[in-house]
Amino acid sequence: MLSIILPTYNESENITKYIPILHSLFSKVNLKFEILIVDDNSPDKTWKIAEDLSKQYNSVRSFNRIGDKGLSSAVLFGIHQAKYETICVLDADMQHDESIVPKMLEEMKNHDLVIGSRKVVGGEYGEMPFYRQVMSKVADRIANLIIPIPAKDSMSGFFMIRKKLILDNLEKLNPKGFKILLEILCRIPNLKIKEIGYSFRQRVHGKTKLSSMVIIEYFTSLLEIRFNISITATFIKYSFVGIMGVFVNLLFQFLSSMILEDNAIVNYENQFFKPSLAVIVGFEVSLLSNFFLNHFWTFNKTLNSLVPSLLKFHLISILGFLIQISVWAFLFSAWLHYLDSYNGLATYVSNFIGIITAFVSNFYLNKNVTWK
Ligand SMILES: Nc1nc2c(ncn2[C@@H]2O[C@H](COP(=O)(O)OP(=O)(O)O)[C@@H](O)[C@H]2O)c(=O)[nH]1
Ligand SMILES: [Mg+2]
């Protein structure tokens, strides 16, 4: 007995072709099964086609979630709805090889989790470009340094598991994003796991929903699991803007120091530090570019609240600047202890550490004051 979950988003063409294939395959192997199509109100009306298919095939049940979105939560929703204890999650786009399902089912007798895998004997990525294969291998290495992952193909969307295991561990799993298998692998301890190779097929109809954000999301999840924290999309965007801001800051500091012939970043007089003009220029230019990016992109605000937010952002940034130069002055004087003459590197490194410290404190203030 098997409940097969097909999460769908804009897969109308694919499910029209795939459901008859799945239905006849599983009917032939003499298996009691059901197919649950979980759609998230796809604009191409996949849910409507799913509904028609459910009338045509008694093995098919269709669900349209309105308001909710996301692959992981669609899978968990399907598991909740499943009639049978054994669950198989399968992409609706025909990229997975459904013919290994009976073999996977057989392995479920002795395992908690069986993964359709592209990374074990018999598995392959098909026509994946060489650079993507290299990237995937590098990503695997780095991922395993962050946290040991007890399976090779942790990005797979093709796996079998028991309903009870998921329900028992529901509060541990983060339903955000697409990487539900990674969550299961890393957050449920002592799983007996089997991977079965299959050849990943090319997508023929429709488009992939996974963008370049996937790799960022994957590593964010690993860090969240490793350090038991929650990293929001807002923080990632803010960090991205912040990192760009560091370069804008340093670049404009450098350019203005050339123009102003003001090559010392700091004027050192009587044990007292005063930022040079070049530093102030770098600071203000990066402040403005950070503000506009964060306002419209990170925090998704409109023109309405632009002026009050800009004022608050300035005040917080000045506070951050005080933090930045305090850290910097402290570190630079520590460096001076060991150096007998002026050293450019020392000022840049001290400045960099100052910027990072101010960045973290500013995030909390901006999130709670500027863009509350
Ligand atoms: N319900 C639901 N299904 C999704 C969502 N995102 C992707 N899917 C489905 O999940 C499966 C895998 O997605 P796909 O874009 O093919 O990822 P890829 O194979 O890694 O390129 C497909 O069947 C998609 O239709 C979503 O937000 N909600
Ligand atoms: Mg796919």
Nearest atom in ligand 1 to the alpha carbon of residue 207 is 15
In sequence order, what E strands does 90-192 have?
Answer: 113-117, 159-162
Which residues, including other chains, have CB under 8 Å from residue 219's CB and lie 6 or more apart?
A: 139, 142, 143, 146
Strand partners, 161: 87, 113
pLDDT number for residue 271? 46
* Cβ(11) – ligand 1 distance below 6 Å: yes
Nearest atom in ligand 1 to the alpha carbon of residue 46 is 25
Nearest atom in ligand 1 to the alpha carbon of residue 95 is 19
pLDDT number for residue 344? 73
Minimal-distance CA residue to ligand 1 atom 6: 71
* Cβ(91) – ligand 1 distance below 6 Å: yes
* Cβ(95) – ligand 1 distance below 6 Å: yes
Mutational test site, ligand 1, from 91, 135, 217, max ligand atoms within 8 Å of CB: 91
* Cβ(210) – ligand 1 distance below 6 Å: yes
Q: How far apart are CA 70 and CA 288, in angstroms?
A: 34
Nearest atom in ligand 1 to the alpha carbon of residue 39 is 1
CA of 5 to the centre of ligand 2 (A): 14
Neighbours of 324 (CB within 10 A): 27
Contact 281/314 with Cβ under 8 angstroms? no
Residue 314: phi and psi, rounded to 5, are -65, -45
pLDDT number for residue 342? 61
* Cβ(36) – ligand 1 distance below 6 Å: no
| Ligand number, closest to the Cα atom of 214 | 1
* Cβ(73) – ligand 1 distance below 6 Å: no
Q: How far apart are CA 96 and CA 101, in angstroms?
A: 10
pLDDT number for residue 251? 93
Contact 81/63 with Cβ under 8 angstroms? yes
Name the token pair of 211. Answer: 């963008």
| Ligand number, closest to the Cα atom of 14 | 1
In sequence order, what E strands does 271-343 have?
Answer: 272-275
Mutational test site, ligand 1, from 14, 16, 37, 71, max ligand atoms within 8 Å of CB: 71
Nearest atom in ligand 1 to the alpha carbon of residue 9 is 25
> Residue 135: which of 239, 219, 24, 33 has the closest Cα?
219
- In order along its 372 residues, the chain shows pLDDT tens digits of 999 999 999 999 999 999 999 999 999 988 999 999 999 999 999 999 999 999 999 999 999 999 888 999 999 999 999 999 999 999 999 999 999 999 999 999 999 999 999 999 999 888 777 887 787 788 888 889 999 999 999 989 999 999 999 999 999 998 887 889 999 999 999 999 999 999 999 888 998 887 767 777 888 889 888 888 888 888 888 989 988 998 999 999 889 888 877 655 555 554 455 667 888 898 899 999 999 999 999 998 999 889 999 999 999 988 998 998 899 888 888 877 776 666 677 778 888 888 888 888 888 899 999 998
Distance from the first to the final alpha carbon of the chain: 50
CA of 165 to the centre of ligand 1 (A): 23
Which residues, including other chains, have CB under 8 Å from residue 294's CB and lie 6 or more apart?
A: 237, 238, 241, 313, 366, 371
* Cβ(184) – ligand 1 distance below 6 Å: no
In the chain, the domains with their CATH numbers are 2-206 (3.90.550.10), 233-370 (no CATH)
